[in-house]
């Protein structure tokens, strides 16, 4: 079955086809029925599947580790006008997306300045670029104002992304996206901290081979001055891949628990017990 989701993009509700990790029958369905679908969401590790599409105009990329073939399939998409980079790089723009490869590009939204290979947005005249968070040397230096954030989605207290190797990336985000949406639906009016406006929990799930190449580093960052937290904790790649859905949900829940425990150690106003009660209730809805 092909999955669709609706996203508000630049004030307009848009139907998006989710092309992350399709199985064989879904690949056939895309080839037969959706090759010309104009709006696609896909994780970085699955970008080879972009070769199935002929008319992408709006593209949403989520977290993962791109392959050479995946990048080739991405840059072969010459009709993209709106590009949304829905993941958050904080260390380097070495693997950033080269915006010059898209001749019709008009609009870019990125969660991090380092998601693009040149952080100087003035280098792209004619392209409207919105950057939600700016980083330098691994540290946040500036965040966008609320009106810029509203371009993509309402501000959320709890936000998930992932630094993961395929197929873990799409499996993780399938779970975490449901948790994020459920948390927003149930607890959007609940205040869990007097000093933090948002927290990002970003599971890191890569194979041992990728770890040996320098990927998969954990990071814990809480800034009371900037009122946000970014906590990146490892999940065993082999354990996650081999687990059934119930086991994967359990690993995700434990990751969120560990992140909350660290946040509590830095933010004494964080309502740790209430947050865990809320997050456990949302996770239980997935079982």
Dist CA 45 CA 168 (whole Å): 9
Whose CA is closest to 77, among 30, 34, 38? 38
pLDDT of res. 56: 97
Looking up tokens 């073939």 gives 69
pLDDT of res. 65: 81
Pairing, β 3-9 against β 12-18:
antiparallel
pLDDT of res. 153: 52
Count of other CB atoms within 10 angstroms of residue 54: 12
Q: In what order do the strands lie in the sheet with 3-9?
A: 3-9, 12-18, 39-43, 58-62, 82-86, 107-112, 128-136, 139-143
pTM for the model stands at 0.60
pLDDT of res. 120: 73
CA 153 to chain centre: 13
pLDDT of res. 147: 47
Cis peptide before 39 (omega within 30 of 0): no
pLDDT of res. 146: 47
Helix (H, G, I), strand (E, B) or coil at 110: strand
Per-residue pLDDT of the chain (287 residues; tens, 9 = 90+): 576 766 777 767 788 888 876 778 888 889 998 999 999 998 888 899 999 999 999 999 988 788 899 999 999 999 999 999 988 887 777 789 999 999 999 999 998 898 998 867 778 888 999 888 888 877 778 766 544 454 455 457 898 888 888 788 878 888 998 998 899 899 989 999 999 988 989 899 989 888 887 777 888 888 887 788 889 899 999 999 999 999 999 999 999 999 999 999 999 999 999 999 999 999 999 86
Dist CA 163 CA 272 (whole Å): 25
């Amino acid at each position: 079955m092909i999955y669709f989701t609706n996203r508000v993009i630049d004030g307009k509700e848009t139907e998006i086809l989710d092309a992350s990790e399709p199985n064989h029958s879904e690949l056939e369905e895309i080839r037969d029925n959706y090759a010309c679908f104009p709006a696609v969401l896909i994780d970085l590790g699955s970008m080879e599947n972009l070769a199935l599409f002929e008319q992408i105009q709006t593209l949403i990329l989520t977290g993962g580790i791109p392959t050479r073939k995946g990048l080739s399939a991405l840059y072969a998409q010459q009709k993209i006008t709106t590009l949304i980079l829905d993941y958050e790089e904080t260390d380097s723009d070495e693997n950033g997306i080269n915006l010059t490869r898209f001749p019709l590009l008009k609009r870019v939204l990125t969660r991090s300045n380092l998601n693009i290979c040149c952080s100087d947005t003035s280098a792209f005249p004619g392209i409207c670029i919105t950057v939600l968070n700016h980083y330098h040397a691994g540290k946040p230096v500036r965040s966008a104002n609320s009106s810029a954030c509203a371009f993509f989605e309402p501000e959320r207290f709890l936000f998930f992304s992932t630094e993961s190797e395929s197929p873990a990336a799409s499996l993780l985000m399938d779970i975490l996206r449901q948790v994020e949406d459920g948390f927003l639906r149930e607890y959007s009016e609940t205040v869990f901290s007097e000093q933090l406006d948002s927290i990002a929990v970003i599971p890191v799930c890569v194979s041992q081979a990728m770890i040996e190449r320098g990927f998969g580093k954990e990071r814990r960052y809480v800034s009371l001055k900037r009122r946000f937290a970014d906590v990146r904790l490892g999940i065993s790649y082999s354990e996650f891949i081999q687990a059934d859905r119930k086991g994967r949900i359990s690993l995700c829940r434990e990751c969120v628990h560990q992140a909350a425990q660290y946040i509590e150690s830095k933010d004494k106003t964080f309502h740790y017990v209430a947050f865990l009660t809320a997050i456990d209730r949302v996770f239980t809805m997935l079982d």
